[in-house]
Structure 1
Amino acid sequence: MTEAMIIGGGSGMGFALARVLVADGKDVTIVGRSTERLTAARAELMRAGDGAVQVMRADIGREDDVAELFAGTGQVGHVVVTAADATGVYGPTTRVSVDTARDVVNTKLLGAWLVGKHAAGKVTGSLTFTSGINAYRPNGSNTIMAAANGALASLAYGLAIEMAPVRVNVVSPGWVDTPIWNQLGMDTQAVFAELAEKLPARRIGAPGDIADAFLAVMRNRFITATVLHVDGGHRLT
C-alpha cells in the first residue's frame, strides 16, 4: 500500500513532505499538472532515501482527471492536497477577472472536494487540505483566494463526518518560502526580510515546517475536523 499520495508534490510544501517520507523509506505518489516537473521531482526524491516514488499527472480542477487518478490507485494511507495557482489572483477584486476567480475556486475548493469524492474507499488513514493565512488575515489583495481557503475548513468538517473513520483536516500555513511567490514578480528575499519582522517567530516559514505539520495530522489518529495553523504567529499581528 502506498503511504501517501501528495497532490501538488512536485514542488514547494508537497515536495518537502514527499522528501521526508521517502527518506524514511515510505512509498509515495506525487501528482501534478506538469509531467516535466514531476519527472524532475521524482529524480531528486529518489536520491533522498529508499522509498519508492510514483508520479501521476492530473489536474484536480477536472473531475475526469481526479476520477482517473483514483481509479488507477490501490489503497493509500494518506492523501495530502497542496496544489495551488496564484496566477493573476493578486490585486483589488475589481481588477481580478472572473475566469481567474473560477480557476482559483476550481483548484483550491472544488478540486479538494473532488479529491474527497473520489478518494472515498481508497484512502484509509487521513485526507489533508492546505489552506492559508489569507483565509484568517485577508490583506485586501487576494480576496478570492482567501474565500477559497476559508471554505476548506467547512469542507473538511463535512467530509470528516462523511468519510469517518478516515480523518479529514486542514493545514493552514502562513508566509512560506515556496515557488508560488515567483509568480508575483517581486524581489522575494527583500520582501521576506520585511515580512519576517512582522511575525512573532521573526522569520518566514520553510517548506519543511509545513511538512512537519502535515506529518502531525497524518500520524495522530485523534486529530480530525481540525485546522492546524502553522503561521509563525501571524494571526496575532
Structure 2
Amino acid sequence: MTSLANQRVLVVGGSSGIGLAVAEQAAAAGAAVTIASRSADKLAEAASRIGQGVRTAAIDTADEAGIDAFFAANEAWDHIVISAAQTPSGPVRKLSLDDAKRAMESKFWGAYRIARAAKLAERGSLTFISGFLSERPSASSVLQGAINAALESLARGLALELSPARVNTVSPGLIDTPLWSKMDETNRNAMFERVAGSLPAKTVGKPSDIANAVLFLMTTPFATGSTVRVDGGGVIG
C-alpha cells in the first residue's frame, strides 16, 4: 500500500456522512485534503471538525461551468472521491418522473460531470460511492439500484479510458448517516435494529466502514475497475 502523506485529496460531498469520514481518515493519514459541497456553512463546520489544515471548496455537481472552472484553477489531484448525492426514492410507478430525473441528475450525472472535468495525477485515483442495491434490487427502490449499477459500470469504463489513473467504486449497504436524521428517532432505531438482525454481520454500517474501503482503494496501486462491496452481507443475506 502506498502512503497518503502529502497527497492531494479532493472529497466531493465531504461535509457530512461518508464523505466526511473519508476526509477525516485521509487527513489523519497525512493527506492534504480539500472537501467540497454546495453548503458553505456545512463545509465550515466539517473543516473545523477535521482540522489538520483541511481546505474547502463550494462545488455544485449540477453546475458544469462551475466544475470546469474549479478544476481549471487547481493543480491535478492525486485522489478524488465522489460521495455527493440526493436521490428521492420509491417504487417506479409511484415516484414522479421529475423526482426520478432529479435522482439520476444528482447521483449519476453529478459524478459524471466531476469525472469528465477532473484533473488527475498520472497514477492518481477516482472513487465513486454506489450502493448494494445495484446487485440486490428492492421493489421500493428500483431507481436507486439502476443508478448504482450505472455508476459501477461507468467506473469500469473509465478505468480503461483514464489509465494509468485508477477508477474504482465502493458499494455500501445500510449506513448510519445524517441521511436518516429526518426520520423519527424511534422508527429509525427500530429500522436499524431490524436490518441489523437480518444481516450476516448483525450490524448496520458506519461511515468509517466505507471510508476504510475508500482508503484501501486509494492506496492500492493494483486496484482499478473494481467494486468493493461493504454491506454487512446484504447481498448474500
TM-score, reference length from structure 1:
0.92
1:22 alignment partner in structure 2: 27
2:225 alignment partner in structure 1: 225
For structure 1, which segment, 89-98 or 75-84, has the greater mean C-alpha deviation from structure 2 after superposition?
89-98
Q: Give the drift of 1:143.
A: 1.5
SS in structure 2 of the partner of residue 70 of structure 1: helix
2:3 alignment partner in structure 1: none
SS in structure 2 of the partner of residue 236 of structure 1: coil
- Contact (CA 8 Å) 2:26, 2:215: kept in 1 or not? no
The residue type paired with residue 194 of structure 1 is R
Distance 2:189 2:102 in 1: 28
- Contact (CA 8 Å) 1:76, 1:123: kept in 2 or not? no
2:163 alignment partner in structure 1: 164
- In structure 2, stretches of 5+ residues that fail to align are 1-5
Q: Give the drift of 1:25.
A: 2.9
1:140 alignment partner in structure 2: 139
2:224 is the counterpart of 1:197 = no
Q: Give the drift of 1:120.
A: 3.9
The residue type paired with residue 205 of structure 1 is G
1:81-120 to 2 correspondences below 5 Å: 81-86=82-87, 89-120=88-119
Q: Give the drift of 1:145.
A: 1.6
Aligned residues: 231
Question: Judging changes above 3 Å, is the alpha-carbon distance between structure 1 residues 179 and 215 closer, same or farther for their aligned structure 2 residues?
Answer: same
Distance 2:145 2:62 in 1: 18
Question: Judging changes above 3 Å, is the alpha-carbon distance between structure 1 residues 123 and 45 closer, same or farther for their aligned structure 2 residues?
Answer: farther
TM-score, reference length from structure 2:
0.92
Distance 1:219 1:19 in 2: 16
Distance 1:168 1:25 in 2: 22
- Contact (CA 8 Å) 2:71, 2:119: kept in 1 or not? no
Q: Give the drift of 1:121.
A: 4.8
Distance 1:61 1:145 in 2: 18
The residue type paired with residue 69 of structure 2 is E
Cα-to-partner distance string for 1:159-180 (whole Å, 9 max, x where unaligned): 1111100000000001110111
Q: Give the drift of 1:218.
A: 0.5
Cα-to-partner distance string for 1:122-173 (whole Å, 9 max, x where unaligned): 5741000000011111211121121111101110111111110000000000
1:150 alignment partner in structure 2: 149
SS in structure 2 of the partner of residue 95 of structure 1: coil
SS in structure 2 of the partner of residue 127 of structure 1: strand
The residue type paired with residue 72 of structure 1 is A
- In structure 1, stretches of 5+ residues that fail to align are none
1:183-194 to 2 correspondences below 5 Å: 183=182, 187-194=187-194
2:9 is the counterpart of 1:4 = yes
- Contact (CA 8 Å) 2:133, 2:145: kept in 1 or not? yes
The residue type paired with residue 106 of structure 1 is E
The residue type paired with residue 85 of structure 2 is A
1:62 alignment partner in structure 2: 63
- Contact (CA 8 Å) 2:127, 2:214: kept in 1 or not? yes
- Contact (CA 8 Å) 1:31, 1:56: kept in 2 or not? yes
Q: Give the drift of 1:108.
A: 1.2
SS in structure 2 of the partner of residue 55 of structure 1: strand
- Contact (CA 8 Å) 1:60, 1:66: kept in 2 or not? yes
SS in structure 2 of the partner of residue 141 of structure 1: coil
